Structure 1
Amino acid sequence: MSGNIAQQIAAPYSEAMLSIAKEQNLVNEFGEDARGILSVLDASSELEAFLGNPLVPTDNKKSLLQQAFEGKVQPFVLNILNLLADRRRIFFLRQVCDGYLALQRKLQKIALAEVTSATELSDAQKQSVIERVRQISQAEGVELQAKVDPELIGGVIIRVGSQVIDASLRGQLRRLAYQLS
């Protein structure tokens, strides 16, 4: 299913999740739970396939969700997971969690910076990127998502929303080749 359609289906659930989180004064806790759920999904493609399988009965999915997340996430979050299963929307769990985190960042004026570098960034380099992003975005806080891509040769690529700062050696070589042609 296309990402845009999946996001449209997941958006009301993400918004409801944020509404409950604000009501219960648990916005940050729900965010941590959403990150935890995403890391479990990233670690287990089998779990995501099981939850997305339309042939698996809803009760089996809810039982697995209970086993996997009870005591590890807020009870309200577990209720949302069960609601997604009941409504046959558990397939969109990843999009619901991503949507919640995006809404949380917007609420708390936090910019998401996706940083791709040739090598692992040191703490000082990460702090430098955070300060640069804070200047560019005027955000109160910055959340870094760092990835390593050895094909960059050196430098970094920083994405903040639709803005891209390409300070990579590969990007500089590409620009130089374009200027020479």
Structure 2
Amino acid sequence: MAGEDTSTGGLAGRYALALFELADQAQALDKVADDLKGVDALLSESEDLQRLVRSPLYGREQQAKAMDAVLAKAGVTDLTRRFIMVVAQNRRLHALPNMIRAFLAELARRRGEVRAEVTAAVPLSETQEKALLDSLSKSVGGKIQLVLKTDPSLLGGLVVKVGSRMIDTSLRTKLQRLQFAMKGVG
């Protein structure tokens, strides 16, 4: 769907680039990025908030008022608050998560960072995180932005996504392959 495109040509990308330019002029890129990460976390944690931004049943004023209250409670900067209020007034809150991803992707791109999503069965220790970061830096080259997630269904091992590449060393996948291979034997 064109409205959910996170590239610079899509709706989310255009809004993200506009915010990026404003934040860059205000020398507030890091603060705005932190604000957006916090808002994204709130969106992913709250089903009520997800319903608010996605449902066409809520009017422009209802969405703006509710988002303003959420943002005040979250303590975001004025620039972030004003941006999200414009998004709400334009009835584009449904695309806010994509706008956030596009902003963070543009920030990482301009800083020469590569995003690596790592899913583990259990939370990684600091030593494991550092070793993983060092290993990824050597293989990919450049700065790595590590995004860690946990998924107990993996049973063990890791699933690493860097760009379009994915490396799956999870026990779940290994057991599935073994099960598939054993079906072929009998």
In the alignment, what sits opposite 2:161? Answer: 159
In the alignment, what sits opposite 2:55? Answer: 53
In the alignment, what sits opposite 2:17? Answer: 15
Q: Distance in 1 between matches of 2:78 and 2:71?
A: 9
In the alignment, what sits opposite 1:85? Answer: 88
In the alignment, what sits opposite 2:133? Answer: 130
In the alignment, what sits opposite 2:109? Answer: 106
Q: Pick from 4, 7, 12: which aligns with 1:6? A: 4
2:121 corresponds to 1:118: yes
Structure 1 residues 111-120 or 18-27, which shifts more?
Answer: 111-120
SS for the counterpart of 1:159 is: strand
Residues 28-39 of structure 1 correspond to what in structure 2 (within 5 A)?
28-39=30-41
2:45 corresponds to 1:43: yes
Q: CA deviation at 1:178?
A: 7.3
Q: 4+ runs of 1 displaced by more than 6 Å? A: 176-180
Q: Distance in 2 between matches of 1:45 and 1:64?
A: 14
The TM-score with structure 1 as length reference comes to: 0.87
AA paired with 2:123? E
Q: Distance in 1 between matches of 2:179 and 2:63?
A: 53
The TM-score with structure 2 as length reference comes to: 0.85
* Residues 57 and 151 (structure 1), Cα distance of their counterparts in 2 relative to 1, 3 Å cut: closer
Query: How big is the alpha-carbon RMSD for the aligned residues of Structure 1 and Structure 2?
Result: 2.1
Q: Percent identity?
A: 25
Q: CA deviation at 1:10?
A: 1.1
SS for the counterpart of 2:169 is: strand
Instruction: Tell me how many residue pairs correspond in the alignment.
Output: 178
Unaligned runs of 5+ in 1: none
Unaligned runs of 5+ in 2: none
Q: CA deviation at 1:26?
A: 0.8
Contact 2:3 2:95 in 1 (8 A): no
